[in-house]
Amino acid sequence: MLKLVSWNVNGLRACLKKGFQEAFDGLDADIFCLQETKLQPGQVTLELPGYEQYWNSAEKKGYSGTAVFTRLHPLSVRYGMDIDAHDHEGRLITLELENFYFVCCYTPNSQDGLRRIDYRMEWEDDLRAYLMGLDRVKPVVYCGDLNVAHEEIDLKNPKTNRGNAGFSDQEREKMTLLLHSGFTDTFRYLYPELTGAYSWWSYRFHARENNAGWRIDYFIVSDRLVPEVGDSKIHADLFGSDHCPVELELNL
């Protein structure tokens, strides 16, 4: 059984002061990946015995960034998707493992008023093509903060949020297209009717204590990996960020 965990830490330096190490140790994952590290190389040193560490930082300081910590030695590691327009913000790390590709992603936010929606659509199309290319070689585990609540069941207030960043028709359609391209949302596959399951809450309006959240953090797998899915979990009881960790158990 492989245990995989993804967490948008919304600034790793801040999260380190809010119980990151305890959460990391308690989850005891084989692969643990982060989004929104907001770090430049050398700004933190993590002592994680038994794990190899891979970091992809944005060129802009204090912004974006991803990391992967793995007990499994990768055959190769790739940063970005070799498209210049997308590879300056530290948003993607791909590990090639023996049986699958592991892709950690921090999807660009479309921003207030959908200011960045055109760029987001380019990212979605290029990323989908990238994942499909990997999938032709070996199956894919794609995870991270994907910055979209796919269906109305995936956020507390769908009516008032329709058209907002993260719940625009355009973003939702791109997720549908991905899932029709040979991939499965593991949590919804296992729990198709489960309501109130969220991974992000605004810091405003007591959103977390009222569980007025959004499910925007995912583990998505190639369809042929679905029979190997043991469980897909949302650790809403773990604090330290405005997101909580999400987990996938794979029988590999």
The residues assigned a catalytic role are 106, 145
CA-nearest of 127, 115, 103, 121 to 54 is 103
β strands within the chain, DSSP E: 2-8, 31-35, 52-56, 66-70, 76-79, 92-96, 101-106, 140-145, 183-185, 200-201, 213-214, 217-222, 229-234, 246-250
Strands 66-70 vs 140-145: parallel, antiparallel or unpaired: unpaired
CA-to-CA separations, 19 to 9, 25, 55, 227, 233, in angstroms, rounded = 11, 10, 21, 34, 19
Q: Do 90 and 60 form a contact (C-beta atoms < 8 A)?
A: no
